[in-house]
Homo-oligomer: A and B are copies of this chain.
Amino acid sequence: MERPKRRQAKTEAADFASAGGPAIILVRPQLGENIGTAARAMLNCGLLDLRLVAPRDGWPNVKALNAASGADAVIGRARLFDTVADAVADLNMVYASTARGREMVKPVLTPRQAAANLHHGRAANTGVLFGPERSGLNNDDVVLADAIIEVPLNPAFASLNLAQAVLIVCYEWCAAAQEAAPERLPAGRSPAASKKEILNFFNMLEGELDSRDFYPTAQMRPKMVSNMRTMFQRIQMSQQDVQSLFGIVKSLTRPPPGRTSGEK
């Protein structure tokens, strides 16, 4: 039996989620839209475990579902709790995301450092607390956490939208989950040109330029040729690129049809 495509995509999206990913715990969130956008950001990053502590407008929330833009896998399994203590009860390691410093003596980490800890730490079940939109976490919430996450931003304008803060923490977790990806060119690219093919092009181009007195003086020719070759080699030509360049130069050296001598 074939599953419908959309259903299939959702299943795969859920499959990407790692069992080791942190729970995202929204404490007394106010706007359903922000819950939905946070859920979308979680699934973007392969996280599924959303926990809600006393959301202002109750649960379920249709605005949250709409804003989730298809992240139903997260919204559908979100769990509701009365208190932060209940929400973190099964976790071994909890971080509190805050915008402002606290007096408490707890380690303060960037999202990147926290992501590294979440991956390399020995804690099995981890979670990150996010406070209400207007006020952030209060001290009673933060005291339940093992460490604090602060996003290093513009110190004079550091207050992130709730879903944006969730995104950065999830994104760093996701980025840490993937090995440093080397820079790549898209697949399907024509094979790299051989040096011989490239030199054939250079010889042809330089020959055409020779016959047109391109070089102001003979002394300047070697330096100018060297500069041109250096410039063109930055293209890192494929075989297709060499063909294109041959075609361009061939076309340019033909007089335009209908252009008579003397016309310019």
Contact pick for A185, options B107, B178, B227, CB 8 Å: B107
Chain B residue at minimum C-beta to C-beta distance from A231: B241
A249 in the interface (beta carbon within 8 A)? yes
> Closest Cβ of chain B: how far from A55's Cβ, in Å?
20
When the two chains form their complex, are residues B105 and A44 in contact, meaning their CB atoms are under 8 A apart? Answer: no
A53 in the interface (beta carbon within 8 A)? no
**A104 vs B190: C-alpha distance in the bound complex, in angstroms?**
11
When the two chains form their complex, are residues A103 and B186 in contact, meaning their CB atoms are under 8 A apart? Answer: yes
**A186 vs B105: C-alpha distance in the bound complex, in angstroms?**
6
> Closest Cβ of chain B: how far from A211's Cβ, in Å?
4
Query: Given A171-B168, A236-B234, A214–B104 Cβ distance below 8 Å?
Result: no
- Residues on the B chain within 8 Å of A43, using CB: 154, 157
- Residues on the B chain within 8 Å of A261, using CB: 255, 261
- Residues on the B chain within 8 Å of A105, using CB: 185-186, 189, 238
Q: How large is the interface on A (under 10, 10 to 19, 20 to 34, 35 or more residues)?
A: 35 or more
> Closest Cβ of chain B: how far from A190's Cβ, in Å?
8
**A112 vs B174: C-alpha distance in the bound complex, in angstroms?**
13
4 additional contacts, CB 8 Å, given A43-B157, A101-B186?
A103-B188, A105-B186, A212-B256, A249-B252
Can you list 17 A-B pairs with a CB-CB distance of less than 8 A? A10-B156, A13-B157, A17-B154, A41-B160, A45-B153, A70-B157, A105-B185, A105-B189, A108-B184, A109-B183, A112-B175, A151-B171, A153-B171, A205-B248, A231-B241, A231-B244, A252-B253
Binding site for B on A (CB under 8 A): 9-10, 12-13, 15-17, 37, 40-41, 43-46, 69-71, 101-110, 112-113, 151-161, 163-164, 167-168, 171, 174-175, 178, 181, 183-186, 188-189, 205, 208-209, 211-214, 227-228, 231-232, 234-238, 240-241, 244-245, 247-249, 251-257, 259, 261
